[in-house]
Amino acid sequence: MDLGLVSGFAVLGLLAFISITWSIQLTTAMVAAPIVASFMTNAFRTGIVAVAAVSLSALGGLWLDVPYTFDYWFRVAICSVLAGLAALSALLRDRREARLERMTVIAETAQRAVLRAMPSAIGAVGLAARYVSATAEALVGGDLYEVAATPYGVRVIVGDVRGKGLEAVQTAATVLGAFRAAAFSEPDPAALAKRIDETLSRMLDAEEFVTAIVGEFQGEVVTLANCGHHPPILVGADGAIEMDTGEPTVPLGLGSEPELSRHAWPAGARMLFFTDGLVEARDRTGSFFPLVSYADELGEGTVEEALDGLVAHLLAYAGQEMNDDMALVLAERSS
């Protein structure tokens, strides 16, 4: 049973009971029922409650033995007009919600078209990815990730476009397109980042940019190029540590020229790449999500299970709502 419909008729029943029990004329007050219903249900059900309210308003004079004077019918007319406005309000809300739902579907479809499915493994590198959408107000953002098996090793990019909406998705698509085109020809992650930067600089406005980190897994070494992004987290035998990627350069699109940093990539180690939706999520007190408190758990279970656990911790911490989208990639050296 629809809660709005039940609530509307409950209010209507209560008003009728009060009117009959204490012989109180509540002709106009009956409109409270459709008003309550309009907040909680659709226009059709609100209309049902509105018709019932106007009917009781008109019939109230029978059990109260009140003469049907002009003043009485004027009160009924007021009830009718207000009940109609309640139904109209519910109808307008239904239409707004339908438009929002269509826009959300379009945005999510565009997002899925941009972010291809992450393979479970490429060679000796196990992989898992998650994309967590923000609240309805944000609709869709420009967080991005991609991986490619190249002659130089397994290359990955994780980034965050400044801004939200379909324009951000379009920028993310440009970044990923440039990555896919250049990942097989550029000699290292820094050169690859510069190539993407050159592509973006031709299309972005001066205030637009993309923070990103480009990584390359090759044997026992991982090479990183940081373009104004959060350093990844390495989870190994000694626990979880934040990688030292050196002084980050400006983001992509602003003339980025990152330096390379090389790190040991031991067997069994895992590395988490993430966007700022992870570390900028807040609880009810305004405190940021303490990634360091949960990072060690990323070494437990499969990479898929580890990411699911991290997302569950984050959503519980943020009260199941986020103010920014989040992209996660967890890589593991399996041998």
Token pair, residue 183, equals 């990942």
Whether the model clears a pTM of 0.75, i.e. scores above it, the answer is no
Tally: H helices and E strands in the chain: 9, 11
Closest alpha carbon to 213 in 233, 199, 184: 233
pLDDT value of residue 96: 92
DSSP string computed for 11-68: HHHHHHHHHHHHT---TGGGGHHHHHHHHHS-HHHHHHHHHHHHHHHHHHHHHHT---
Give the distance between the most distant pair of CA atoms in the chain: 94
C-alpha distances in Å from residue 168, one per residue of 63, 175, 326: 63, 11, 14
Q: What is the per-residue DSSP string for 219-231?
A: TTEEEEEEES-PP
**128, β-bridge pairs:** 330
Query: 302: helix, coil or strand?
Result: coil
Q: Give the pLDDT of residue 244.
A: 92
Q: CA 281 from chain center: how many Å?
A: 12
Look at the block and give the residue holding tokens 């993407």. 196
Instruction: State how beta strands 326-333 and 125-132 pair.
Output: antiparallel
**Look-up: residue for tokens 């509105």?**
50
pLDDT the model gives residue 33: 93
Task: Please state, in angstroms and rounded to a whole number, the distance separating the CA atoms of residues 237 and 226.
Answer: 25
DSSP string, 257-276: -PPEEEEE--TT-EEEEE-H
224: Cα separation from own chain's centroid: 28
- pLDDT, one tens digit for every residue, the chain (335 residues): 788 899 999 999 999 899 888 888 888 899 999 999 999 999 999 999 999 999 999 988 887 788 888 889 999 999 999 999 999 999 999 999 888 787 777 666 666 667 788 899 999 999 999 988 775 544 466 789 999 999 999 999 999 998 776 778 888 889 999 999 999 999 999 999 999 999 998 887 767 899 999 999 999 999 999 999 999 999 988 889 999 998 878 999 999 999 999 999 999 999 999 999 899 888 888 899 999 889 999 999 999 999 999 999 999 998 877 777 889 999 999 87
Would you state the pLDDT for residue 52? 94
- Contacts of residue 142, Cβ cutoff 8 Å, sequence gap at least 6: 160, 161, 162, 163, 164, 168, 169, 171, 172, 210, 325
Are 276 and 313 in contact by the 8 Å Cβ rule? The answer is no
Q: What pLDDT does 162 receive?
A: 83
CA atoms within 13 A on the CB side of 296: 4
